[in-house]
Structure 1
């Protein structure tokens, strides 16, 4: 991962993203952000002046990486866990980002937030269905990876917050693609899926999805985005493909949508 730890305390570390353009405090133990929220941010087609809502923002990595690439965004994050939300606010201040973080359950958003619509809704929802897995020993990590909010609720809430012609962008595990497509059918249109494979010779484990409010284009699947060069891991040597390397080091966009 393109992350370097800058400082460590008993409870948190300060980590370097995008080659130092974004510095983020996050728990030393429990759930720690890695490459996935950075890739998510790179895939969001936001323009200066637009509004963005991130559901389940954690300590704010995706939103802050997006803010580093696209100026003058108005960003709002929703985070269930108070400790993570507090760190997200600290990170917003220290990165000079216009990022308002709300501590709330997605299923019980504050009234003022329920009245708002956004140009973009982004999310990296828990990858695992808690009903079919074993809970992690750390509560924060367990909530981030599984939690008790069904994926269908995440998608329903996201669809409700998207403004006219606005976009949903998410990253999720490949085995949950049928569930996502079913939940969005009749809600959003112009769905595009980009598989993400660790290497060219391996099946994709993740996917990025973009959907649009009032979109009418037919469903499309674009070529897979490959993360690493070569057929296998070759030791402690960076092997990111050129496109992914530019995303992780320089904050470049990931131009995958047709």
Structure 2
């Protein structure tokens, strides 16, 4: 592999109502609302360090940087093509971000340090679970390591008192919670429901290294208004609209 996508295979996509412009492959894995929600849920403060595990084209880190100034960003991405895009996207949006190519099982030496925050959006399809004919898209979406391994890798990289913020399928919650001990606690899970009364298919988990507070299952964040799709309109709820378009933070929901 060349390690980069040809320019003719890329689209230039707007995030946060145009505050960010991200290059993404037209036929590869493409970041969307999950990356924005993940960034909104991270409680990072100005000047803190953030490690993005499986950073893809950098969408979550750059959405976070659009809200929080002077972050020290680092990313780990197993696919060289996406790592290259993350570097390019950081530069074209004026955000400094170190991006390393590698995987969780063999993390680059440069990342073996403590971070205030770790964020992650692990793949959610089992091997063979996506029919995508595009190899880089299929690789980005298919599970290679159990989600518990992502939690363990994050725990190793977090400084004492640091926060893990992770978005994943709702069916992974038992495995996520089982993976927290002994290093992570004070966990909260926020279900993400497409509409009022719908089953949550995704969740956001937050947990703290060394945290001892009781587990909390939060009220769902409902993303869309109405009972079903209404034409071409996205029909976001006011709270979802403030996050997905305005770049608002989610931490207030976590208390």
What is the CA-CA distance between 1:156 and the residue it aligns to? 1.1
1:12-53 Cα deviation digits (max 9, x unpaired): 011000011111001011211111100110111110010000
**1:119 and 2:116 matched:** yes
Q: Which residue of 1 aligns with 2:46?
A: 48
Residue 17 of structure 2 corresponds to residue 14 of structure 1: no
In structure 2, the gaps of 5 or more residues are 1-5
**How many angstroms apart in 1 are the aligned matches of 2:133 and 2:147?**
22
Q: Assess if the C-alpha contact under 8 Å between 1:198 and 1:204 holds in 2.
A: yes
Deviation at 1:151, TM superposition (A): 1.8
Cα distance, 1:113 vs. partner? 1.4
| 1:151-184 alpha-carbon deviations (Å, 9 max, x no partner) | 2221111110010100000000101111111111
Matched, 1:211 2:242: no
Q: Deviations over 1:204-257 (max 9, x none)?
A: 111000000010001111100000011111111131011111112111112320
TM (norm. structure 1) is 0.93
| Alpha carbons of structure 1 residues 104 and 9: separation in structure 2 relative to 1, 3 Å | closer
**Would you say the 8 A contact 2:44–2:68 is kept in 1?**
yes
Q: Deviations over 1:99-132 (max 9, x none)?
A: 1111112211122311x110000000011232x7
Q: Distance in 2 between matches of 1:13 and 1:45?
A: 30
- Preserved contact between residue 129 and residue 150 of structure 1 (Cα < 8 Å): no
RMSD: 1.5
1:128 has 2:121 as partner: no
Structure 2 residue 164 is the aligned partner of structure 1 residue 157: no
- Is the aligned partner of 1:199 residue 2:195? yes
Q: Distance in 2 between matches of 1:147 and 1:30?
A: 16
Cα deviations across residues 37-81 of structure 1 (Å, max 9, x unaligned)? Answer: 001101111100100000000000000000000001000000010
Please report how far the alpha carbon of residue 10 of structure 1 lies from its aligned counterpart in structure 2 after TM superposition.
Answer: 2.5
Name which of 174, 177, 180 aligns with 1:178: 174
Q: Whole-Å Cα distance in 2 between the matches of residues 47 and 222 of structure 1?
A: 23
Mapped contact 2:130–2:141 kept (Cα < 8 A): no
3-state secondary structure, aligned to 1:233: coil
- Provide TM-score, normalisation by structure 2: 0.94
- 2:138 and 2:151 map into 1 onto residues whose CA distance is 20
The answer for the alignment partner of 2:246 in structure 1 is 250
SS of alignment partner, residue 203 of structure 1 = coil
Residue 134 of structure 1 and its aligned partner are, at CA, apart by 5.2
**Is the 1:79–1:101 Cα contact (8 Å) retained in structure 2?**
yes
The number of aligned residues is 249
Is the partner of 1:97 in helix, strand or coil? coil
